[in-house]
Structure 1
């Protein structure tokens, strides 16, 4: 529908939704393909924020398949964009992903630092995702 209507941003966001669905069911290759396609769409319309958001989706898939260093690169890039935009909610998503990547890389100090930074943001706005981040922190060795 978005393609037919020429609504490129909507098309890209739909692709990211498909990527999330594929990731949740273990379709990691398909999820990465959707992330790449979404990133191409967002790059084509020069939408910096959505390119960063696609980086978070890509990072989530990469973390899920154990490619933590690759995930870290995507999340770091996204984090800078979200900070430039003053988007604290999305910043917390990137920080959480970075924390997960560092956990996977066996760097508990960096994992805790980033997860605690995400938690600080979420607690400051009484976000219900605080429990998820607290659970991630509890699993850091």
Structure 2
């Protein structure tokens, strides 16, 4: 519910639903649900310009998804994390996570997603040898 509200731009409602889902999933030790709620909270934080919080949520979701071995979802979380890093002008970090997402998308045959991430990588305006983070 929270993810759909976030996609509609209803961020306060989305945040409330995702926080409730996070609490519920943690209470029931449902790691996959916890990771999904954290990923959605990362999206919400990013879309509301709280990029540092987005990085925290995405990183936590990424850790859980890697532990579960859910590489399909890992790719999407990496993509979101890259956007948060790019918004913080941490281009080196954005490049790292988008490169990993690109490799996963390609390995999974997700060609449209791979093209999208490749374009994001091409669009990074990182001057050679610098990283503002």
TM-score class, shorter-chain normalisation, is 0.7 to 0.9
Cα distance in structure 2, aligned partners of 1:81 and 1:119: 20
Gaps of 5+ in 2: 126-133
Out of 108, 115, 118, the residue aligned to residue 131 of structure 1 is 115
Any stretches of 5+ residues in structure 1 without a counterpart? 1-17
Match 1:48 to one of 31, 36, 57: 31
2:12 to 21, 29, 42: 29
CA–CA distance in 2 between the matches of 1:23 and 1:138?
Answer: 27
CA contact (8 A) 2:72 2:108 kept: no
String of CA shifts for 1:72-106, please: whole Å, max 9, x gaps.
Answer: 11111111111112111111112111111100111
Count how many residue pairs are aligned between Structure 1 and Structure 2: 124
* Aligned-partner Cα distance in 2 for 1:72–1:63: 8
d(CA) in 1 for partners of 2:124, 2:69: 28
Decide which moves more: 115-124 or 89-98.
Answer: 89-98
1:56–1:93: 8 Å Cα contact kept in structure 2?
A: no
Distance 2:5 2:33 in 1: 19
Alignment of 1:82-97 (within 5 A): 82-97=65-80
> TM (normalized to structure 1)?
0.81
8 A Cα contact 1:68 1:102, kept in partner: yes
SS in 2 for 1:129: helix
How big is the alpha-carbon RMSD for the aligned residues of Structure 1 and Structure 2? 1.3
Query: Is 1:140 matched with 2:124?
Result: yes
Matched with 1:8 is none
